[in-house]
Amino acid sequence: MNLDELLYNTYGFSSFRPGQREIIERVLAGEDVIALLPTGMGKSICYQLPAKVLPDSILIVSPLLSLMQDQVAQLKKMGEKSVVAINSFLKPEDKERIWSTLSSYKFIFISPEMLVQPFVKQKLKQIRISLLVADEAHCISQWGFDFRPDYLRISEILPHLNFPQVLALTATATDKVTEEIKKYLALSEPYVYSHPMDRKNIVYDIKKFEESRDKIEFIKEFVQKYNGPGIIYAGTRKKSQELSMLLTELGVSAAFYHGGMEHQDRVFVQQQFQNGELQWICSTNAFGMGVHIPNIRHVIHYQLPTSIEGYVQEVGRAGRDGQPSLATLLYAQGDEALLDSLVMDDLPTQHEIEAVYRHGAGALHLIDQGIVRETAMRVISYWMTQLPVEGVIKQMELLRSGKRQQVLKIRELIGLQGCLRSFIVQCFDQQLGGKPDNCCINDGIDYDAFEVFSPSTEKHFPLQWQERLSVILPI
């Protein structure tokens, strides 16, 4: 089989990007694969191209509805009609049609929560699956232990699918995360491809302030000096809305985005950003995964990220076109307190664990009574099937210990005197293969590399909702 010819006929590309050929060859050889490719390196091709050769359906476990819809839209744009995303937003009649014709779909996208439902298992058991793809596989480690424990149950579906091959795709993973991916996908001896994660065109900056209000002044000056598109990551939903309002009052086209918004509103904001109607998105970490905008120039972290892994994931949304992009992390005295609360508050407390165990199958009413949080209930319910109460308490303490280590890494990054790039790369168990001329704040940054805003480059966007609608849905 001529892979170069297949690549050209399918995508019009004359050559593979680094890593793609090796991964695809291993998949076609029948091996399980874990592929670590930096953001923008074309991970989707690693399952889409083999699908042209593999005889049966490809099942893609995807973390976000917006990501699923984006990938479905891309495939349909390429002319692929046998693709479907199974999610809770489907109408009953659409679900019925999909279940009755499931075997006709080449690409089936699904969330881990939907995947482990007994009814879905039975439906998938009735068709043939060539390959199970765990997209954004780092979520198994980053989200599976915190608030989406169904990520830890993906391997339970494998016997129902007659043990298909598995391809795990992610942009960032430490050795520890890679081992957790192996464990929770039941991979005994997978081929692991790990591409150097450093992106030379991204420049790392840290700005330090005495008080948080000084960050506001910095952002006001920054967005009026430098061209977007850009993302400002806030630690909370409230802060994302406040920052969006601030930029709008300055006459800068901006919107907020967070998980508390209605699905349709999130899609609308994302489309505006992709269409160039918005220069800035002010968001929690809910925004970015699967967003394919090549020319994002700036990523600003208003508050400290909760881990180096999350930081690199978010920074990696910038500069996919290879042009200079700036990652700016803002720090003020006292930010560590918010970081600690954001990181530690996710996990179930000992009180919640013991309360759920006492009530057993009837524990759900504890959510309504405010005794146990909904996310904590999901996590505890999973671990109840694995461990006795003492074991779950110990497991949560181990996870807290791991999170404390993540917080220490962020604190170390803030106080670092040496090269930020070298430190970040070492956090992923890699070595830096040379620095770019424009590297990081501790090595000196040439800010002239970034386009300065001027009236001649200003864009005017429709502000009224009727005008916005006419742009997105022209008559």
CATH number for the domain spanning 257: value is 3.40.50.300
Q: What is the pLDDT of residues 426-455, one digit of tens each?
A: 999 888 988 999 999 999 999 999 988 654
Rg (the chain; Cα; Å): 23
Tokens of 336: 């560590």
Tokens of 297: 């120039």
Output the pTM of the full model: 0.86
pLDDT at 460 > cutoff 50: no
Residues 175 and 131 in one domain: yes
- What's the angle, vertex CA 472, arms to CA 324 and CA 260, rounded to 5? 75
Q: The domain containing residue 149 runs over which residues?
A: 3-194
Q: How confident is the model at residue 355 (pLDDT cuts 50, 70, 90)?
A: very high
For residues 342 and 308, give the distance between their C-alpha atoms in angstroms, rounded to a whole number.
14
360: three-class secondary structure by DSSP: helix
Q: What is the pLDDT of residues 23-46, one digit of tens each?
A: 999 999 999 999 998 877 788 999
For residues 218 and 459, the model is more confident at 218
Q: Which of 194, 212, 236 is the last residue of a domain?
A: 194
- Give the CA distances from residue 244 to residues 258, 306, 311, in Å, rounded to whole numbers and listed in that order: 12, 22, 21
Residues 189 and 215 in one domain: no
Residues 47 and 93 in one domain: yes
Q: Which of 177, 194, 211 is the last residue of a domain?
A: 194
Q: What is the pLDDT of residues 300-346, one digit of tens each?
A: 999 999 889 889 989 999 998 999 999 999 999 888 877 777 777 77
Q: Which of 194, 210, 229 is the last residue of a domain?
A: 194
Residue given tokens 């060859």 in the structure block: 25
Residues 37 and 178 in one domain: yes
pLDDT at 467 > cutoff 60: no
Identify the sign of the CA torsion 29, 35, 37, 43.
Answer: positive
The count of structural domains within the chain is 2
Q: What phi and psi values does residue 209 have, to the nearest 5 degrees?
A: -135, 160
469: three-class secondary structure by DSSP: helix
Q: What is the pLDDT, as a whole number, of residue 71?
A: 86
